[in-house]
Chain A
Amino acid sequence: MNRHSVLYLRTAGAWLCALLLFFPIFWLGLMAFKTEAQAISTPPLMFFSPTLQSFRDVMARDNYTGYALNSLFTSVLSTAIGLAIAIPAAYSMAFFPARGTVGLLKFILSSRYMPGVGALMPIYICYQYFGLLDSRIGLTVMFMLMNLPIMIWLLYTSLRELPREILEAARMDGATVLDEFRYIVLPLAVGGIASTALVCMVWAWNESFWSLNLGASNAGTLAWLIASYSSPEGLFWAKLSAASLMAIAPIMALGWFCQKQLVQGMTFGAVK
């Protein structure tokens, strides 16, 4: 097999797999611009004149803007607070490792393994007691706590990649620990921090379990919008597709735009 045919096969194969994998999303997007009749036509309609009617219907039926803003608020804020807690912790573990550091890291990571449902009742009752149900703050805190373990782990691995000698040079140059952090660690770790923030934002945005159980019409995120379409009464395909598209579009755009950083975050830096 010569070089050219291998490249040809590889290109064809890769594109085929990518298109197959992407096709459902593409189809969803397409359907959002159809009318209801067009949406359920058999055989499926590939060419049609697009309409924005479904989007208008969704906006009229539900409070899209409200839900979207809630999603934005909770995912951004939970990520920001999470970083504020996770960065010092990761810094401490990466640069001042003690005997128990690896154990602590394992404990932190293993705390994430429990499915939310295992803590659902206590948390629901606590939230009810503190009046946090259906509040944006409540959801933000929950998302933040959910992402914290992985955030710490991601930041830890990316901080560990900083060459030790550069920090020693800074120390010789007279840097205090705070100086080191501000002038050396932070600038060099920006990439890792961005990737971590991105992947955690994606997870917070897409979070459904806690949104549905702890939120409601006031603080509900876009997960609520989608949930309302899952009942048979809401089963209008074009509208469903429009609603879905509106729910996933922002985060997809973000993901595509920052795909390099996102992939870095997704791959967890632990793979060298």
Chain B
Amino acid sequence: MNRLMPRTLLTPAVLAIAIISIVPLLITLSYAFVKFSLLAPGEHAFHALENFHFFFSDGAFLPALQNTFVLMFSVMFITVLCGAALALLINEAFPGRTIVRIMLISPFLIMPAVNALMWKNMLLNPIYGLFAQVSHLFGLTPVDWLSQYPLLSIIMMVSWQWLPFACLIFMTALQSMDREQLEAAGMDGANYGQKLRYLYIPHLGRAVSVVLMIEMIFLLSVFAEIFTTTGGGPGFETTTITFMIYQQALQSYDIGAASAGALFAVLLANIAAFFLMRVIGRNLAK
């Protein structure tokens, strides 16, 4: 068997990915170690400690870290739970299933920026938004979501967008379940709740890991929603690490500090990837 050929086929891909992941990393590394501010051009003295210190001591850092985790895990939790429930609901055939599926995948297809604007203006706006109108209907005072519960609002938006994804993955997983196993359990006297606990949920385990893995990629880099609605505020309430770095780079023009932050983001991403890979690796190596 020709050994060379498989390697040649792989080369362009590996090259491309190596370039996009290693080259920027090296450059960022170099920036993080010098003073690099667009407001003070020409000064590139060794400034590493100051950069890192500046980044980590920034008032936004700890809140951003917390917000990042809260956002990520809340969305994961909501999408997995509701996605699984929804998948179980539509698992069997019923009239209009195709249309329901079309409606269900729609949020996934929306541009995140549109998603954000839609929620901000149409739904969450305390005067004209739909939520407000509905509250009036029930005689309640409308909530100014983006001011009073900014992080929750963002979580709502992002969950809404990713729910279809989780639901469809679970639905596909459910459809591959062994019918005979369910029938046997039925004959053994299991009711729906027991089947749920002992058959459905374990089977979904693998699907859950796929969902978490993919969602983590995109949740770490949530940007458009925050940018368009709250701009990270009020205060630091909706600033995530990603957004914080963006602010430092493009709003404070301090490339050095932003690079230090970027390295931290890389670290964070790698930690996340490491954990997920261990879970997924078992499945991948099939």
Complex Cα distance, B115 from A251, in Å, reads 14
Q: Are B176 and A272 in contact, with the CB atoms below 8 A?
A: yes
The CA-CA distance from A14 to B273 in the complex, in Å, is: 35
* Bound-complex Cα distance A235 to B113 (A): 14
- Across the interface, do A113 and B216 meet the contact criterion of CB distance under 8 Å? yes
B117 touches A226 (CB 8 A): yes
In the complex the two chains form, what is the Cα distance from A108 to B140 in whole Å? 51
Q: Is B121 an interface residue (CB 8 A)?
A: yes
Contacts between chains A and B (CB distance < 8 A), count: 277
A12 to B96, CA, bound (A): 11
Number of interface residues of B (CB under 8 A): 102
Taking CB atoms and an 8 Å cut-off, the chain A residues in 1-34 that contact chain B are 7, 10-11, 13-15, 17-19, 21-22, 24-25, 27-28, 31
A72 → chain B closest CB, angstroms: 14
Chain B interface mostly:
helix
Q: Known: A14-B100, A223-B111. Contact between A118 and B266, CB under 8 A?
A: yes
Docked-complex contact B277 and A247, CB < 8 angstroms: no
In the bound assembly, the distance between CA atoms of A193 and B165 in angstroms comes to 19
State which of A96, A121, A206 has its C-beta within 8 Å of the C-beta of B262: A121
Assess the B281–A106 pair: CB atoms within 8 A: yes
Judge if A40 is at the interface, Cβ distance under 8 Å: yes
Closest residue of chain A to B163, judged by CB?
A21
Residue of B at shortest CB range from A11?
B94
Q: Are A237 and B122 in contact (CB under 8 A)?
A: yes
Please determine whether B14 and A89 come into contact, CB atoms closer than 8 angstroms: yes
The answer to whether A148 touches B17, judged by C-beta atoms less than 8 angstroms apart, is: yes
Q: A19 to chain B: which residues have CB within 8 Å?
A: 103
Contact A263 B109, CB 8 Å, known A122-B24, A149-B17: no
Asked if B269 contacts A263 (CB within 8 A), the reply is no
Enumerate chain B residues within 8 angstroms of A248, measured Cβ to Cβ.
109-111, 114
Q: Is B184 an interface residue (CB 8 A)?
A: no
Residue A200 at the chain B interface, CB threshold 8 Å: no
Residue A117 is within 8 A (CB to CB) of chain B in the complex: yes
- CB neighbours (8 Å) of A237 from chain B are 121-122, 128
Using known A-B contacts A44-B133, A114-B269, determine if residue A102 contacts B285 with beta carbons closer than 8 Å: yes
Q: Do the beta carbons of B9 and A27 come within 8 Å of each other?
A: no
Interface positions of B from 74 to 95, Cβ below 8 Å from A = 86, 89-90, 92, 94-95
Q: Does A267 contact B (CB under 8 A)?
A: yes
- A122–B23 Cα distance when bound, in Å, is 8
B228 within 8 A of A: yes
Contact of B90 among A14, A117, A255 (CB under 8 A): A14
Inter-chain contact B121/A240, CB cutoff 8 Å: yes
Check B110 against A25 for contact (C-beta < 8 Å): yes
Give CA–CA (A227, B111) in the complex, Å.
Answer: 11
Q: Which residues of chain A come closer than 8 Å to B153, judged between CB atoms?
A: none
A112 at the interface (CB under 8 A from B): yes
Known: A115-B269, A121-B28, A267-B168. A230 touches B113 (CB 8 A): yes
* Per-residue contact bits, chain A 136-172, to B (CB 8 Å; 1 contact, 0 not): 0000000001001110100000000000000000000
10 inter-chain pairs at a CB distance below 8 angstroms, sorted by A residue, are: A11-B95, A86-B13, A88-B10, A96-B5, A98-B6, A106-B281, A152-B13, A230-B116, A237-B121, A271-B210
* Extra A-B contacts (12), CB below 8 Å, given A14-B94, A117-B262: A10-B89, A25-B118, A27-B122, A89-B10, A113-B270, A117-B265, A119-B20, A120-B245, A122-B31, A148-B13, A223-B113, A272-B176
Which A positions have Cβ atoms within 8 angstroms of B? 7, 10-11, 13-15, 17-19, 21-22, 24-25, 27-28, 31, 40, 42-44, 85-86, 88-89, 91-93, 95-96, 98, 102, 104-123, 125-126, 145, 148-150, 152, 177, 202, 205-206, 208-209, 213, 222-223, 226-227, 229-230, 235, 237, 240-241, 244, 247-248, 251-252, 255-256, 259, 262-263, 266-268, 270-272
Chain A to chain B: the 7 pairs with minimum beta-carbon distance, closest first: A115-B221, A89-B13, A122-B27, A119-B24, A110-B273, A96-B6, A88-B9
